[in-house]
């Protein structure tokens, strides 16, 4: 059974689909839904359209608005957790013993904790991702994860609504075309960056976007950057190596790169172990964290995005400790949690390992990684867990209930791939932005959404990893 969206007689009209394919790809290019090619990832001489669905995918209206409405509560939760050093230390103790990447991040966190900044500017640009779970005939919004660093596609998703509106008009589906909502996360993300820049208080200072060496997804960055340029805020792009070679702190911990003072560091890199190619990369990260520049995210907020923290927040009583006088907020956040289970050593972890081995198809095994394509499913869970059943290595993972979404029929437009009708699954993201200085929260908003869709044959993976494609919700 598939969720109701575009009628099947439209989806199976081969003549119409062939016409729409050409229209759709041209529309994506005209609207700037762009990526660089795999062959020339660092050159804009040749570009292509970013992969996208031919039609928008159905999303229940009530659940869509639930995801957006709860974004400001997740902003506050992320911020409060990031300020609770005791909770972070206790929650990550087992993980940092066996996960070297998280341990290195935590080591930087411990160092900067020794140099507190009372009026530090805290900037959060995050994205909370969900799927619609269909169990026993009921639909519910369930959270996949929170991305607190390098949350992507706020730029390109600002351009996709016009593409699907145009496709639907050409297909003579005017009614559906009017159901595609305006969406401009790029402007909202830039609003947060601009506020942090203003709070820094130097018009000469610049925003530095910290980027990878491979930059296929540069146009997603550029939309946010151009919003800043429109506000007369100077933006530079640098890599860890640039910071290591040409960066310095003055006596007031102001950060300078190539002689330019940095007001805000916007991380679009640094979320995976391979992003740190040498010890100099880690030294550059520490230099940035020690500086008085606003970091997006700072190291504590980065750690909040780990899967272990996600699992610990789902424990009974933990949300209540962060919202002691807000039972409604606790209820709304907890309603989105899927079952999350610790694999720490001990009786509880042993029970959860046995539970996963008995019914592996009901769970997902998650390491402390971002970027898509890292999770473990099905029989592979047994292979991995059997090898470390009684070893501390298992504590590098958490276990989560597998969400059961209802598939939809759609076409995935991807360069070089023939267009064919697929059974697809979608994931909805809500972008949250907050700015705090000292104890005062100055901005807390949901600034837009992202829908990504993939062939249901693929268990895991995002757009950047080449599995999912960009989409728009068709509210039903």
Is 370 labelled as part of a ligand binding site?
yes
What pLDDT is attached to residue 461? 53
- For 422-441, what is the mean pLDDT? 96
pLDDT at 465 over 60: no
Residues 383, 289 share a domain? no
At 11-57, the pLDDT tens digits run 999 999 999 999 999 999 999 999 999 999 999 999 999 999 999 99
Residues 68, 162 share a domain? yes
Structural domain includes residue 2: no
Among 402, 423, 440, identify where a domain stops. Answer: 402
Structural domain includes residue 304: yes
pLDDT at 403 over 70: yes
Among 152-156, 284-288, 350-354, name the one with the lowest average pLDDT: 350-354
At 88-137, the pLDDT tens digits run 999 999 999 999 999 999 999 999 999 877 779 999 999 999 999 998 88
At 266-291, the pLDDT tens digits run 999 999 999 999 999 999 999 999 99
Residues 411, 350 share a domain? no
Q: Which is more confidently placed, 370 or 214?
A: 214
CATH value at residue 349 = 3.30.1490.50
Catalytic residues, by residue number, are 127, 145, 147, 152, 307, 366, 370-371, 452
Residues 455, 433 share a domain? yes
pLDDT at 234 over 90: yes
Structural domain includes residue 3: no
Q: How confident is the model at residue 460 (pLDDT cuts 50, 70, 90)?
A: low
pLDDT at 163 over 50: yes
Is 377 labelled as part of a ligand binding site?
yes
pLDDT at 411 over 70: yes
What pLDDT is attached to residue 390? 86
What pLDDT is attached to residue 154? 98
Among 353, 385, 402, identify where a domain stops. Answer: 402
- For 297-302, what is the mean pLDDT? 98
Residues 415, 367 share a domain? no
Is 366 labelled as part of a ligand binding site?
yes
Average pLDDT, the chain: 94
Residues 162, 289 share a domain? yes
Residues 363, 456 share a domain? no
Is 138 labelled as part of a ligand binding site?
no
Q: How confident is the model at residue 238 (pLDDT cuts 50, 70, 90)?
A: very high
pLDDT at 3 over 80: no
What pLDDT is attached to residue 4? 65
- For 324-348, what is the mean pLDDT? 96
What is the percentage of the chain residues whose pLDDT exceeds 90?
89
What pLDDT is attached to residue 459? 64
Is 452 labelled as part of a ligand binding site?
yes
What is the percentage of the chain residues whose pLDDT exceeds 70?
97
What pLDDT is attached to residue 1? 39
Is 427 labelled as part of a ligand binding site?
yes
Domain region containing 254 = 8-338+403-475
What pLDDT is attached to residue 419? 95
Q: For the chain, what is the domain count?
A: 2
pTM of the model: 0.95
Structural domain includes residue 421: yes
What pLDDT is attached to residue 47? 96
Structural domain includes residue 417: yes
* Spatial distance between the Cα atoms of 435 and 75, rounded to a whole number of angstroms: 10
């Amino acid at each position: 059974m598939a969720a109701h969206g575009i009628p099947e007689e439209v989806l199976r009209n081969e003549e119409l689909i062939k016409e729409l394919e050409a229209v759709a790809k041209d529309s994506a290019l005209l609207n700037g839904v762009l990526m660089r090619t795999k062959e020339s990832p660092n050159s804009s001489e040749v570009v292509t359209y970013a992969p996208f669905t031919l039609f928008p995918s159905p999303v229940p209206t009530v659940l869509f608005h639930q995801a957006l409405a709860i974004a400001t509560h997740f902003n506050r939760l992320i911020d409060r957790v990031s300020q609770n050093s005791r909770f972070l230390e206790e929650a990550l103790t087992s993980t940092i013993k066996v996960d070297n990447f998280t341990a290195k991040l935590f080591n930087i966190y411990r160092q900067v904790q020794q140099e507190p900044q009372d009026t530090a500017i805290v900037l959060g640009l995050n994205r909370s991702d969900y799927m619609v779970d269909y169990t026993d005939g009921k639909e519910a919004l369930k959270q996949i994860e929170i991305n607190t660093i390098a949350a992507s596609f706020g730029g390109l998703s600002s351009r996709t609504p016009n593409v699907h509106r145009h496709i639907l008009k050409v297909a003579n589906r005017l009614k559906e075309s009017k159901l595609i909502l305006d969406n401009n996360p790029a402007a909202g993300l830039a609003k947060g960056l601009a506020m942090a820049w203003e709070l820094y208080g130097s018009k000469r200072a610049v925003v530095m976007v910290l980027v990878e060496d491979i930059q296929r997804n540069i146009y997603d960055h550029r939309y946010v950057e151009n919003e800043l340029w429109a506000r007369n805020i100077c933006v530079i792009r640098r890599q860890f190596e640039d910071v290591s070679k040409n960066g310095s702190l003055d006596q007031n911990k102001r950060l300078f790169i190539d002689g330019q003072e940095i007001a805000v560091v916007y991380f679009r890199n640094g979320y995976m172990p391979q992003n740190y190619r040498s010890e100099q990369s880690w030294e550059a990260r520490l230099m940035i964290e020690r500086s008085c520049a606003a970091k997006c995210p700072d190291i504590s907020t980065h750690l909040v995005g780990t899967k272990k923290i996600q699992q610990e927040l789902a424990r009974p009583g933990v949300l209540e400790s962060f919202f002691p006088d807000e039972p409604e907020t606790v209820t709304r956040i907890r309603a989105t949690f899927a079952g999350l289970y610790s694999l720490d050593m001990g009786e509880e972890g042993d029970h959860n390992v046995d539970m996963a081995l008995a019914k592996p198809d009901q769970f997902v095994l998650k390491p402390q990684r971002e970027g898509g394509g890292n999770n473990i499913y099905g029989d592979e869970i047994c292979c991995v867990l059997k090898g470390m059943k009684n070893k501390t290595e298992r504590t590098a993972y958490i276990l989560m209930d597998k969400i059961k979404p209802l598939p939809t029929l759609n076409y995935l437009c991807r360069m070089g791939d023939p267009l064919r009708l697929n059974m697809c699954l979608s994931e909805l993201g809500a972008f949250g932005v907050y700015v705090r200085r000292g104890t005062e929260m100055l901005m807390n908003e949901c600034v837009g959404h992202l829908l990504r869709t993939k062939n249901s044959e693929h268990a895991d993976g995002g757009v950047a990893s080449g599995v999912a494609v960009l989409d728009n919700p068709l509210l039903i």
